[in-house]
Amino acid sequence: MSEPSATSNDHRTRPSARPWWKDALVYQVYVRSFADSNGDGVGDLAGIRSRLDHIASLGVEAIWLNPCYPSPQHDHGYDVANYFDIHDEYGTLDDFDALLADARDLGIKILMDLVPSHCSIEHRWFIAALASDPNSPERARFYFRDGKGDAGNEPPNNWQSAFGGPAWTRLDTDPTANNGKGGQWYLHTFAREQPDLDHTHADVNQLFDEIFKFWFDRGVEGFRVDAVAGTGKHPDLPDQPPVGPEVGVLDITWMNEYTVFRPEGHDVWRRFRTTIDNYESSHPDRELMMVAEAYAVRRPELVKAFTEPDQFHQMFSFDLMLTPWEKHSIERAMLDPIAILAETGVPPAWTLNNHDIQRIVTRLGRADAHLPEVWTNNNLALSRADVDLALGERRARAMTALIFALPGSLYLYQGEELGLPEVFDIPANRREDPVFERTGGAEIGRDGCRVPMPWTNDASSSYGFSTPRADGTVGEPWLPQPAEWGERSVSEIDDIENSTLHMYRSLGEVRDEFAVSQPLEAQTIDIGPEVVAVRRGELVVVVNPTDQPVQLDLDHPEMAITQPVFASEPAEMHTTGVIPANSTIWFSS
Ligand code: GLC
Ligand code: CA
């Protein structure tokens, strides 16, 4: 097991005086897959508590928990049945409080995941809406509409679900007397178990006010806000203009101007910000925040709109996550968000992995990963080219070493510190992502980046994921783990010199020492045609995205006073100005 670098008495001291979230290192925990304390094959809060030493060893300052509210788990917690409690498989509010207290002792804050765009079909409001008449107040908190056509058999409009199939589901429960219109339809931007909430309704506004207060009172320091792109609709719900045949089934929703990036959404974010600011002004010791989740890659104007001072504190930058492994693409992916920072003062929230995206080791190991045209804004359907995992891991390490140097905060996703690849061999009958079912298996979905974490090489405990029950048995993990998971486990790679896990721990340290102390700014510098080079104050970081070593000119004025202080391939850190193929080196004076 790893030696924790922080103990309960060793609160992490911030190397910078900025509000913590502006340059924090945050670790995303997919609760279901992190650690299972009671042997039922499902991760839980007590499991997270038992593994906090691992998170602390990376030098992180906050944990973002994927949704852990009561939920029938049709979209693994993104279908919330009750925003004020903990899902029974994951524990209780007492377990949550204990986790928060333990984390706080390690100097680690907790962020929750807020799901405003929709709730669950098991939310009491939706149950009440089903039991009520068409046009009743109970239905007004959602988007219930009569169908088109004489018998109301056609959906109210042509909108598509982001998981495939129509965005409307018809009730078979309505009285046939609905003026001959039959059962109403309700709108769901995602799965049919996720009815969209109407944020123009006063009850919905009040609900979210109460949610913020409830979790802030418990000691939560902020929220990752889910699916902000699709929150807010054109009031008339007009048909979406037709899209071309080249648009993939999972992309149609995101091109719908009547439900994506709507001004009505910004009204919601302004209300949320007012709630947070009001709470903060009566709790001056707190630094609260919310970070927006939307795919605004290569669209700086959107990032600016979401991070106006009266809206989000930050927005995820997925640009580097989705960029090809090629100099100009990497530069653009880095410079767009940095330009916004220079203009608005809002630092990016950088990300290379999350629970919706194929893991970076697999993506960058693709035979076409270096081609500018593989750049895509589609978060699911990526290249299907062959994968070289060793190359992918090397490139992933180099990209990670870049992103740790940049101004802003950085969100890591559990397992990336182990260099875990995407898992493909999940049998169809074990796939759980609604995307798989809703596309009839045409899209495999996101299960492959959600496979339970390997902690040890012991297959009998699901590689340390599950703590055995009293009788010594463990339940099957909720998603199957591949046989090589043991070799990739925390305890195994902790014994390997220069493993990816060691690299992440070192990066946390050099980030504090050489990056966080620098101003919140960065520029690219031209020190050679092959490399990506960034200067941040006294730190210079050079990425070689090519398959050949590159010799830098150490007499170049930008390099004159710098020494290598970190290399993504430590065995290849030279003082001669050589940047090995597919690697990154940090230089400082
Ligand atoms: C966000 C979440 C994703 C979820 C969707 C619907 O994109 O990250 O996991 O399926 O919203 O809530
Ligand atoms: Ca469990």
226-256 per-position pLDDT tens digit = 999 999 999 999 999 999 998 888 899 999 9
- CA 380/CA 163 separation, integer angstroms: 10
Return the best residue to mutate from 66, 74, 78 for the ligand 1 pocket (most ligand atoms within 8 A of CB).
Answer: 78
For 445-482, the DSSP string reads -SGGG-PPPP-SS-GGGTTTTB---TTS--PPPSSPPP
- CA 288/CA 109 separation, integer angstroms: 10
- CA 577/CA 251 separation, integer angstroms: 44
CB-facing half-sphere around the CA of 276: CA atoms within 13 A: 21
Atom of ligand 1 nearest to the CA of 355: 9
Going by pLDDT thresholds of 50, 70 and 90, the confidence category of residue 13 is low
Residue having the nearest C-alpha atom to atom 4 of ligand 1: 78
User: Which residue, among 475, 452, 473, 456, has the nearest Cα to 464 in the 3D structure?
Assistant: 456
Mean pLDDT for the stretch of residues 143-163: 94
What is the whole-number distance in angstroms between the Cα of residue 227 and the centre of ligand 1?
6
User: Which residue, among 75, 76, 74, 96, has the nearest Cα to 85 in the 3D structure?
Assistant: 96
Above 50 in pLDDT, residue 552?
yes
250-282 per-position pLDDT tens digit = 899 999 999 999 999 999 999 999 999 999 999
Mean pLDDT for the stretch of residues 28-53: 98
Above 90 in pLDDT, residue 379?
no
Atom of ligand 1 nearest to the CA of 78: 12
Going by pLDDT thresholds of 50, 70 and 90, the confidence category of residue 8 is very low
- CA 556/CA 507 separation, integer angstroms: 26
Going by pLDDT thresholds of 50, 70 and 90, the confidence category of residue 4 is very low
- CA 513/CA 49 separation, integer angstroms: 28
Ligand nearest to the CA of 50: 2
What is the whole-number distance in angstroms between the Cα of residue 282 and the centre of ligand 2?
38
- The crossing angle, in degrees rounded to 10, of helices 202-218 and 263-281 is 40
pLDDT on residue 381: 47
What is the whole-number distance in angstroms between the Cα of residue 39 and the centre of ligand 2?
6
Above 70 in pLDDT, residue 198?
yes
Q: Scanning the structure block, which residue is given the tokens 């009566």? A: 282
Q: Residue 449 carries which side chain, given as an amino acid letter?
A: C
Atom of ligand 1 nearest to the CA of 191: 6
What is the whole-number distance in angstroms between the Cα of residue 203 and the centre of ligand 1?
23
Ligand nearest to the CA of 44: 2
Atom of ligand 1 nearest to the CA of 79: 12
Higher-confidence position of 190 and 247: 190
482-508 per-position pLDDT tens digit = 999 999 999 999 999 999 999 999 999
What percent of the chain is modeled with pLDDT above 90?
87
115-126 per-position pLDDT tens digit = 999 999 999 999
Going by pLDDT thresholds of 50, 70 and 90, the confidence category of residue 36 is very high
For the chain, what is the mean pLDDT?
94
What is the whole-number distance in angstroms between the Cα of residue 28 and the centre of ligand 1?
14
Ligand nearest to the CA of 468: 2
pLDDT on residue 562: 83
Mean pLDDT for the stretch of residues 304-317: 98
Above 90 in pLDDT, residue 174?
no
Going by pLDDT thresholds of 50, 70 and 90, the confidence category of residue 573 is confident
pLDDT on residue 15: 73
Above 70 in pLDDT, residue 177?
no
What percent of the chain is modeled with pLDDT above 70?
95
Going by pLDDT thresholds of 50, 70 and 90, the confidence category of residue 374 is low
Return the best residue to mutate from 356, 379, 380, 411 for the ligand 1 pocket (most ligand atoms within 8 A of CB).
Answer: 356
What is the whole-number distance in angstroms between the Cα of residue 30 and the centre of ligand 2?
13
- CA 332/CA 326 separation, integer angstroms: 10
For 233-261, the DSSP string reads --TT-PPPPP--TTS-TTTTGGG-TTTSS
Q: Which residues pair with 397 in a beta bridge?
A: none
Query: Under 8 Å CB-to-CB from 456, ≥6 apart: which residues?
Result: 463, 464, 486, 489, 490, 491, 492
Angle (nearest 5°) at CA 566 between 564 and 571: 95
pLDDT on residue 136: 95
| Cβ pair 33, 451 in contact under 8 A | yes
Q: Which residues are found with C-beta within 5 Å of the ion, ligand 2?
A: 36, 38, 40, 42, 44
Going by pLDDT thresholds of 50, 70 and 90, the confidence category of residue 575 is confident
What is the whole-number distance in angstroms between the Cα of residue 426 and the centre of ligand 1?
21
pLDDT on residue 7: 39
Ligand 1 pocket (Cβ < 6 Å) reads 75, 78, 115, 190, 226-227, 293, 355-356
Query: Under 8 Å CB-to-CB from 236, ≥6 apart: which residues?
Result: none
- CA 108/CA 105 separation, integer angstroms: 7
pLDDT on residue 413: 98
CB-facing half-sphere around the CA of 514: CA atoms within 13 A: 26
